[in-house]
Structure 1
Amino acid sequence: MTPASGGPVVLLIGPPGSGKTTVGELVAKALEVPFVDTDQVIEAEQGRRIAEIFVEDGEPHFRELEAEAVARATTWDGVVAVGGGAPMTESTAALLESLPVVFLDVTIADAAVRVGFSTARPLLAVNPRATWTRLMAERRPTYERLATWVVDTEGRVAEDVAAEVVAKVNHE
């Protein structure tokens, strides 16, 4: 993705399993703009998976990398999927406040089906359901505060969610 003067068309935030990547790709395709996932950017730049970064360098180091990736992404044109914990960093939240943000809201039942709470998600490695519930309780107020729009994903297929995001972005 290359920098552009206009900035992102929309940024997607939400917890693990909300569909940020899947929905983001569909939204970008529908709007005919590029798509970027900040987690994928970090993995490509670091040459290792996020779980490895957590284990080898710790969460604080990962959060620094994440804040830098999101800051760069806010200068890019297109659709951006932002890592689930990124909005919890003050500098990242400050950047997102003035941008078009969609919070993809999801229930734990749908999130569990979508991500399976695997070890690829380091914060969910131990007691994933309880951890997801706690993280969501902590993060929800921030997600809601930063959201220009909230889209409920419960029981919906990605295509329907993406269509709603596109409609909101296009002010339909």
Structure 2
Amino acid sequence: MRPVAVLVGTMGAGKSTVGELLATTLGVAFLDSDQLIEERAGKSVQDIFVEDGEATFRALERETVAHALTHHDGVLSLGGGAVLDPATQALLAPHQVVFLRVGLADAVKRVGLGVGRPLLLGNIRSRVKQLLDERTPVYQGLARITVDTDGRTPEDVAAEVVERIGAQHRAPKDQP
């Protein structure tokens, strides 16, 4: 069992929004690794960062992603930093990884004031730029498909992903 697609990218790329649209189009379930972590921990990602520290969050993230990669056959969206873990990178190698690439201006617009985003403390624009600079090479290295999201609707991005991963996963349109 493997996910149909694993979406990666920085915050503001549209992984959750596009992921839900993609899953609906393909007729499969959508799973967000951050939501799974929150369910497992019984608290928000932000609270885990503040109360338990980033190391605890990253350990939970690593375990959660590993489980999802072997038990979920729909669309899986990963938190922006999940790909930084070498063990997670190795686990992603055989999967259909889709990098949703976003530029600085669009990312900043989409994340707004960063409410609920623990890595956006301080100057949001400079912090998003730093995250883009650090993580983009990792995303590109893992991706089988890269889709630009700047200036595009989530529906348009999802349609391109569907087209690029192939029609073999599309849900039959004639079903009642």
TM-score range (shorter-chain normalised) is: over 0.9
Normalising by structure 2, we get a TM-score of 0.92
Partner residue of 2:140?
144
Structure 2 residues not aligned, in runs of 5+: 169-176
> 1:154 and 1:52 mapped to 2: Cα distance?
30
Listed as ranges, the matches of 1:150-161 within 5 Å are: 150-161=146-157
Tell me whether 1:113 sits opposite 2:118 in the alignment. no
Partner residue of 2:171?
none
Listed as ranges, the matches of 1:55-134 within 5 Å are: 55-75=50-70, 76-134=72-130
Post-superposition CA distance 1:87-127 (Å, at most 9, x none): 00001111111110000000111112212142310001221
Structure 1 residues not aligned, in runs of 5+: 1-5
- More off after superposition, 142-151 vs 131-140: 131-140
4+ aligned runs moved over 6 Å, structure 1? none
Displacement of 1:140 in angstroms is: 0.9
Normalising by structure 1, we get a TM-score of 0.94
The residue identity in structure 2 corresponding to 1:110 is D
The percentage of aligned residue pairs carrying the same residue is: 51
Partner residue of 1:48?
43
- RMSD of the alignment, in Å? 1.2
> 2:113 and 2:83 mapped to 1: Cα distance?
21
